[in-house]
Structure 1
Amino acid sequence: MSVTTAMPTVVESLHGMAFYAWPFSAFMVANLLGMVLAGEISDRIGPGKPLIAGLVLFGAGLVIAGTATTMAQLVAGRMVQGLGGGVLIVVMYVLIGAGYPPELHPRVFGMTAVGWVLPSLVGPVVAGTLAEHAHWRLVFLGLVPLVVVGAALVLPGLRRLPSDPPREAAGASAAYRGGGRSRWPFALLAGAGVILLQVAGNRLDVVAVPLALVGLAAIVVAIRMLFPVGTATARSGLPTVVLLRGLAAGSFFAVDALVPLTLASVHGWSPAASGLPLTIGALGWSGASWIQGRYPSVARSLVVGTGLGCVAVACALMAFVAWTPGSGWVAYPAWIVGGLGMGLIMPSLSVLLLEFSSADDRGRNSAAMQIADALLSSLTIGFTGAVVAAATAGAFGLPTAIGSSNLVMAAIAVGAILVAARLRRRVSVGAR
């Protein structure tokens, strides 16, 4: 979050504006790879060693990027950082599953929201200040001590986990195509597909269509191997959980990316005022995460369905904001509702994921859910970006582009509500 704010200054300093997207693309592809590798390795040998590797990689990526003198070094640093970040997010789920009893999972996942909300409130402001008044290198290097502190806090807890002998992955991967074989090449294929779609979305010529088709084909092939069998058809149990994670994240984050653009370009608000609804949404997310953790006995299907309803309403309201003059203020209540929805959805799906997982496949299943989050968000943001680009080229007005995109995301959220009904059909881990 800090890096995104400072990246324009970083790229300009390194004379690499033509390659502005590369640090983000490198991070994203490496992130997917780290998720898959962490899931497979954690299922075989436990989360301890992958956790240490993730911390080291993430810290090393910060140092490489923070000392960059060329764009190539910056991209390399972001790639290492993304690899470590992908490992850490999956290992976190494995650790929660191994270290806490199921009745505490709603509260624990609610607490993890604080680890996202606080940086989202503080990070961009601090990063912008450092980049403007000190040096952009501090945005990277200043985070290294936080990695050290995090390691010091979490590593002692590994000694309290039960020892877990190495396991074979074949028996634990029956829910996936290809049995127990490694899936990291498909993570790279998915990342390449997303990049091709992003490139296609930025072009308005005949080359865009074949690029988009190749990108979509790559993603389809990849997700067939990365997701549980039955994800596309919303099969009850784990596949539904993975699909809902992607649909929720895709609909919310696509509109989230358009909120500042709507307020700044359509309503003429200042940059600070245009970004404030995102802060309010983050607070709503944190509050709802805490609330769902206080009531663990409420059916997770009901919590997820309610959250998706909130997201659908928020996206529809943002379409109204794009189309209606003088309605910019509606973005504030709209995005608090959207944040509340995500605060209900994300922890609840995480709880269900662990419920539908055994000790043998927590890592693989956690990786699948995180990949669904990342891929569908990339696809929906890419879609809205392409629509906005077409509006910029004069195909239609910007309010039309933004409002229509927001309504599409609202429709996705409504469709997800229908899928969430399948969560009521509970299955045991052994029944998969």
Structure 2
Amino acid sequence: MTGSNRPAVSSGWGNLLSGANLVRSLALSGGVALHAVNLYISTTILPSVVREIGGFDYYAWNTTLFVIASILGAALSSPLLARAGPRGSYVAAVLGFIAGTLVCAAANTMEIMLAGRFVQGFGGGILLALAYAMVRRVFAEPLWPRALALLSSMWGIATLLGPAVGGVFAELGFWRGAFLFLIPAASLVALASLFVLPPRVEKRTESKPLPIVQLALLTLAVFAASWGGMGANLSSTVVGMVTALGLVGLVIVTERKSRHRLLPAGKFELPTALGSLYMASALLAVTVTCTEIFLPLFLQELHGRSPMEAGYIAAVMSAGWTAAAIYGSGLKGDRRTSAVRAGPVLSLASMATLAAVMPWTGADGDWLPLALICTALVTGGAGVGLAYPHLSAMILHLAPQGEEDKAASSIMTVQLCATAFGAAIAGLAVNLAGASSTPDDMDAANAARWLFVTVAVAPITCLVVMNTVSFKGADHAS
């Protein structure tokens, strides 16, 4: 039985976090948390990894391959769900994540580590997408905003837990233990899913061929964007970015013509509510993820903060996201619409403030620059937290008939793709503005200024896209 067919129930947190719903919430949010915490743990311990097993030349590929595998996993989650059912697909994804984690923990060369990271990312990407797809299956519709806010908040929790866990094991000189730390947590998620997720889909549908062409083009596009974003030289940058744009265009053309689509119908039609909602949610998420990538570097280089301090100052943005998501999930009617429209405005104000304040180091002992930076980070995170869960709930509500699972799982596919391309563009802005391949020689102040100016394009574009959406028509049922 889908969420829309359930009897009327309370939409409060008490209903979501009690009884059987509590176990369901733990299973779904646990899957998101596994992926998110692993991302931050890996980032924290990676310097220790390369010191022990080598492979510094492939440092960035740990993240690149992980993100690409996550995109593939998220994109393939809908066919897996149709074949294996909710319970089977979720357990299979957790087992894949555990297998990749064990490979990473046992790696003695960077090649083995990269293989493990790919398997990790693939399993984690499936978990992310399935969590969103399961919301409409296991919860009544009035609980969708709360459930989506809970999933969203896992990223904020991960920014606090991930660096702490990774830092402890790195300090102990046992980075492999950070990966092993994830195994018991993943096992609990798998166990919970066995008890609370339905064994099969409501209506058995005919197995459809996988959209192999679109997946291959999308993977190549991310590779090309990542290569171009490195900014090694002008020719490689131009070739990489132009190739990526061309491949994205081919994905869109192929999707429109193919009978077996990767994404739901209407996804690339921006005048329609569904296409606009997907794009708006992706653009909002980009402002946080692209900021957090380089924020610790600028806090260390420009403001003299230690790596641990910089990591937790950067986590302030995700804390703002989490707090706003939890608060905003209970808004209804006009207040909900106002919160959604306020999201990109707050994000834009945050990027403008960071562009002005981050290059300003101030005098020794001057607390004002850091205070303004933290305020801007909370504001930017809150903007995303207020709008993102409601945009996701609207997507679930507007899902085309027969493509509900594909529409739900595509939320994370689109976000991961936007993050990958956004990170590539942000990296290009930093490399060109900083005019150096090493942190010691780069013009950090100029790089910081242009990074946040570049990222500000995302909330500006989001404001334009939101003007194409009639929120009364796109809004989910109260």
What is the TM-score when the length of structure 2 is the normalising length? 0.80
SS of alignment partner, residue 364 of structure 1 = helix
- What whole-Å deviation, never above 9, does each CA across 1:146-190 have from its counterpart, x for those lacking one? 00111122321124x785232147xxxxxxxxxx65224423322
SS of alignment partner, residue 69 of structure 1 = coil
Q: Is the 8 A contact 1:43 1:167 kept in 2?
A: yes
SS of alignment partner, residue 206 of structure 1 = helix
Match of 2:63 among 17, 24, 29: 24
- The separation in 1 between residues aligned to 2:436 and 2:43, in whole angstroms, is 28
Q: Is the 8 A contact 1:57 1:81 kept in 2?
A: yes
Q: CA deviation at 1:41?
A: 3.0
- What whole-Å deviation, never above 9, does each CA across 1:255-274 have from its counterpart, x for those lacking one? 23232233222333333333
- For the aligned residues, what is the CA RMSD? 2.6
Structure 1 counterpart of 2:366: none
Q: CA deviation at 1:44?
A: 5.7
Q: How many residue pairs are counted as aligned between the two chains?
A: 418
Match of 2:88 among 37, 44, 49: 49
Match of 2:241 among 185, 196, 212: 212
Q: CA deviation at 1:111?
A: 2.0
1:97 aligns with 2:98: no
Q: Is the 8 A contact 1:194 1:378 kept in 2?
A: yes
1:272 aligns with 2:318: no
Q: CA deviation at 1:312?
A: 0.9
The AA in structure 1 aligned to 2:399 is S
1:108 aligns with 2:147: yes
Q: Is the 8 A contact 2:287 2:458 kept in 1?
A: yes
The AA in structure 1 aligned to 2:273 is G
Q: CA deviation at 1:318?
A: 0.5
Q: Structure 2 unaligned runs (5+)? A: 1-39, 256-261, 363-368
SS of alignment partner, residue 384 of structure 1 = helix
1:294 aligns with 2:330: yes
- What whole-Å deviation, never above 9, does each CA across 1:320-368 have from its counterpart, x for those lacking one? 1134342333111000111111211221122111111257323311333
- The separation in 2 between residues aligned to 1:367 and 1:184, in whole angstroms, is 17
- The separation in 2 between residues aligned to 1:284 and 1:405, in whole angstroms, is 21
Q: CA deviation at 1:122?
A: 1.5
Structure 2 counterpart of 1:378: 420
- What whole-Å deviation, never above 9, does each CA across 1:40-69 have from its counterpart, x for those lacking one? 332466422211111110111111111112
- The separation in 1 between residues aligned to 2:453 and 2:235, in whole angstroms, is 27
Q: Is the 8 A contact 2:74 2:126 kept in 1?
A: yes
Structure 2 counterpart of 1:15: 54
Q: Is the 8 A contact 1:34 1:86 kept in 2?
A: yes
- What whole-Å deviation, never above 9, does each CA across 1:270-295 have from its counterpart, x for those lacking one? 33333333222222111111112222
- What whole-Å deviation, never above 9, does each CA across 1:10-55 have from its counterpart, x for those lacking one? 1332121122123222222221111111123324664222111111
Structure 1 counterpart of 2:189: 150
- The separation in 2 between residues aligned to 1:304 and 1:144, in whole angstroms, is 37
Match of 1:409 among 411, 435, 455: 455
- The separation in 2 between residues aligned to 1:124 and 1:272, in whole angstroms, is 8
SS of alignment partner, residue 360 of structure 1 = coil
Match of 1:251 among 268, 281, 287: 287
Structure 2 counterpart of 1:332: 374
Q: CA deviation at 1:142?
A: 1.5
The AA in structure 1 aligned to 2:227 is V
Q: Is the 8 A contact 1:43 1:360 kept in 2?
A: no
Structure 2 counterpart of 1:164: 202
- The separation in 1 between residues aligned to 2:69 and 2:436, in whole angstroms, is 36
- What whole-Å deviation, never above 9, does each CA across 1:73-112 have from its counterpart, x for those lacking one? 2111111111111111111112110111111111111222
Alpha carbons of 1:227 and 1:166: their partners in 2 closer, same or farther (altered >3 Å)?
closer
- The separation in 2 between residues aligned to 1:102 and 1:299, in whole angstroms, is 19
Match of 1:314 among 350, 354, 364: 350
Structure 2 counterpart of 1:175: none
Structure 2 counterpart of 1:369: 411
Q: How does 1:175-186 map to 2 (within 5 A)?
A: 182-186=210-214
Q: Structure 1 unaligned runs (5+)? A: 170-179
Q: CA deviation at 1:231?
A: 4.6
Deviates more, 1:254-263 or 1:146-155: 254-263
Match of 2:217 among 178, 189, 193: 189
Alpha carbons of 1:313 and 1:192: their partners in 2 closer, same or farther (altered >3 Å)?
same
Q: CA deviation at 1:196?
A: 2.0
Q: Is the 8 A contact 2:224 2:240 kept in 1?
A: yes
Structure 2 counterpart of 1:177: none
Q: CA deviation at 1:253?
A: 2.0
- The separation in 1 between residues aligned to 2:265 and 2:98, in whole angstroms, is 35
1:419 aligns with 2:465: yes
1:238 aligns with 2:303: no
**Amino-acid identity (%):** 25
- The separation in 1 between residues aligned to 2:141 and 2:345, in whole angstroms, is 26
Structure 2 counterpart of 1:174: none
